[in-house]
Structure 1
Amino acid sequence: MHTDEIQLRDPFVLVQEEQRCYYLFGSTDENIWKGEATGFDCYRSTDLSRWEGPFPAFRPSPDFRSTTNYWAPEVHYFGGRYYMFATFGHESPDVRRGTAILVADTPEGPYAPHSDGPVTPREWECLDGTLHVDSGGTPWMVFCHEWVQATDGKVCAVRLKEDLSCAAGPPIELFAASSAPWVDPVHSAKHGTGYVTDGPFLHRKENGNLLLLWASFRNGRYAQGVAQSTTGKITGPWGQQSEPLYEADGGHGMIFRDLESTLWLTLHTPNDTPNERAVFIELADEDGTLRAMD
């Protein structure tokens, strides 16, 4: 399959140097917004253009805790195993949408539950957890506290236990969506007016600066923004770049280097089901920030 043939949101690329290939993960149910979820698929490629698959990376067991809203799987190699951070819909009135952690011994899975339900606070509406390992080797989950509950959506972080099985402390707030000058409010008949945070991803630049990609809305369209830690630490404080990195109705991006060390941003666009597709945009790592190549 060619990239533009694969309906996929929230793309995440795992680079496998030994195999000389790439694995593409994402939200792959035909309708991720409602109805019973199927699971997560992945695809394999040697050139980021032509893909083998889909391969079933995760399928829920009959007693799995959630049946809907399977979103944003990311796969990280840590401590000799592959860990999938993925968002799952409400389990019960007391356990709201949040990010759980699954594990496998191979990149394509199959993945099995590792954490006991969501690692994000169970009473919070959360999504899009990602792994960050700080300079001291401590693992963190960075995630979004959703605007549908918080009104002004937040990006938060929580330390994880060394085995990634659960949180090792309370969450901390890194920043609110409204702190970015480029973000516009969104309006919903159900949830009112608020500011969205989606899809955080951490990237350490060559000069040591720590950046955080995240998505929101500008002029009614999905957009990809960038924040920077003024201390180089996950705890911040965090400043916002004045303009988005990408604003052509696309977002929930991540950054990776390919097998030839070229730096890429991948995100989905347009933000419209069932037309969303992964795209790959070459990046320049400049002194002040990242820039999309023409």
Structure 2
Amino acid sequence: MSVPPAYNAASDVRNPQQVHRLADMPVHDPFIFADRKSDMYYLYSGASPRLNGVDRHGVLFYKSADLEEWEGPYVAFAIPDGVWADPQHGAWAPEVHEYRGQYALFVTLHNEDRTLEGDPVQGYARHWRGTAVAVSDSPEGPFKLLNADGPIVSSEQMTLDGTLYLDEGEAPWLIYCHEWVQTLDGTIEAIRLTDDLSSTIGDAIVLLRGSEAPWLKPASEAGSAGEVPTYVTDGCQLYRTSDGSLIMLWSSYEDGSYVQTSARSESGRLEGPWTQLEPLVREDSGHGMLFRTFDRRWMLVLHRPFKMPDSRAYLYEIRDAGDRFELAD
């Protein structure tokens, strides 16, 4: 396993340190880390040459003391040269977790030139796509990739939106989406990680399939233009409620519009079985995550609409209902 150097491109970002409101910040796949050491909230999103003035894709962040005014953007990570991912092919769904004295960044990277078997599906080709893990001593980075040679899950599988989950014994797991472009019926899966987060242990288990949501219609109808039904799974995140219920946030499409939904493990364990709950937010909204404010309130952040450059982050106060999370009144 080779480890590339960190790439720090903070000086490439246009207009850093300005005060922003969420409505002014182009954000996709938002993730907020509440850092209790500094009493600062960090909002992470993908960094794009077209939108942010950087010379390569990566991860940027804004920071705020009150969730109202945000300073930034700054670059926490940029894809270095000489690794499996192409610096010009995108960085999706960044998230940062405090883990065993360090900060771990999970981000989906791509290499469109390294193709996989299979014909394109609805115009989408199959190629290397997967979650990479990088670490830093600060939530601001710079983050260093743990593995330069490939994503953490097999490069033969198109995966995305990986997140960290610690089980009852504090063992780390990667929860991720297996791309509908490859599976047609997208799945959310779990695989055990080594304690240093650098590789996987054993086989993955399927937690749920996109088609299991009773409200979800396929992205294409069978027989329409020769296409088969497809079901999207995006943005998986796991949380415990006050009564110990294990809840998963995830996103998909309903009649072509993005939806933020959730599911509950009936066993309270990762293996499930998982029961689909009613969507939390519709209106072309999704890829959300929950966090606790410094005064211990639950908040949901998601983006709306789906497509950039119009996508913005929105905050909702959340109520812990014991066996589920709900929007607060």
Q: If the length of structure 1 is used for normalisation, what is the TM-score?
A: 0.94
Gaps of 5+ in 1: none
CA distance in 2 between counterparts of 1:187 and 1:31 reads 31
Q: Which amino acid aligns with 2:114?
A: S
CA 1:261–1:152: 2 relative to 1, 3 Å: same
What aligned pairs does 1:191-202 form with structure 2 within 5 A after superposition?
Answer: 193-202=229-238
C-alpha spacing 1:58/1:195, structure 2 compared with 1 (3 Å): same
Matched, 1:19 2:38: yes
- Deviation of 1:4 after TM superposition, in Å, equals 1.1
**Counterpart position of 1:92:** 114
Match of 1:70 in 2: 91
**Secondary structure at the residue paired with 1:122?**
coil
Query: What amino acid maps onto 2:286 in structure 1?
Result: G
Cα distance change, pair 92–190 in 1 and its aligned pair in 2 (3 A): farther
**Separation in structure 2 between the aligned mates of residue 85 and residue 190 of structure 1, nearest angstrom:** 37
Cα pair 1:31 1:273 within 8 Å, conserved: no
Q: How does 1:50-61 map to 2 (within 5 A)?
A: 50-61=69-80
Partner of 2:3: none
Q: Distance in 2 between matches of 1:39 and 1:102?
A: 12
Q: How many residues were matched structurally?
A: 290
Is residue 208 of structure 2 the alignment partner of residue 159 of structure 1? no
Query: What is the CA distance between 1:190 and its match in structure 2?
Result: 11
Q: Aligned in 2, Cα 1:38/1:252: closer, same or farther, shift over 3 Å?
A: same
Alignment deviations for residues 35-71 of structure 1 (CA, whole Å, 9 cap, x no partner)? x842111111001121111111011222232121210
The CA distance in 1 between the partners of 2:50 and 2:286, in whole Å, is: 18
Q: Which amino acid aligns with 1:139?
A: P
> For residues 213-224 of structure 1, what are the structure 2 equivalents within 5 Å?
213-224=249-260
Which one of 154, 157, 170 corresponds to residue 203 of structure 2? 170
Conserved? CA contact 1:7–1:30, under 8 Å: no
CA contact (8 A) 1:99 1:128 kept: yes
Report the equivalent of 1:39.
58
| 1:31–1:204 distance in 2 versus 1, CA, 3 Å | farther
Q: CA deviation at 1:30?
A: 6.2
Q: 2:171 — aligned with what?
A: 138
Amino acid at match of 2:239: H
Aligned equivalents of 1:38, 1:240: Cα separation in 2: 35
- Larger Rg: 1 or 2? 2
- Residue 177 of structure 1 deviates from its aligned partner by 0.4
Per-residue CA distance 1:229-251 (angstroms, 9 max, x = gap): 1111111111111x211111110
**Partner residue of 1:105?**
137
Which residue number in structure 1 is paired with residue 17 of structure 2? none
Q: Secondary structure at the match of 1:99?
A: strand
| Deviating more after overlay: 52-61 vs 141-150 | 52-61
State whether residues 219 and 255 of structure 2, in contact with CA within 8 Å, keep that contact through their aligned partners in structure 1. Answer: no
Change (3 A) 1:103 1:92: same
1:179 aligns with 2:222: no
Q: Does 1:260 align with 2:282?
A: no
- 3-state DSSP class of the match of 2:128? coil
Note closer, same or farther for the CA distance 1:191–1:139 as it changes in structure 2 (3 Å cut). farther
* Alignment partners' CA distance in 2, 1:51 and 1:181: 39
**Structure 2 equivalent of residue 80 of structure 1:** 101
Indicate if the aligned counterparts of 1:221 and 1:247 stay in contact, CA closer than 8 A: yes
Which amino acid in the other structure matches residue 210 of structure 2? Answer: A
Moved more, 153-162 or 268-277: 268-277
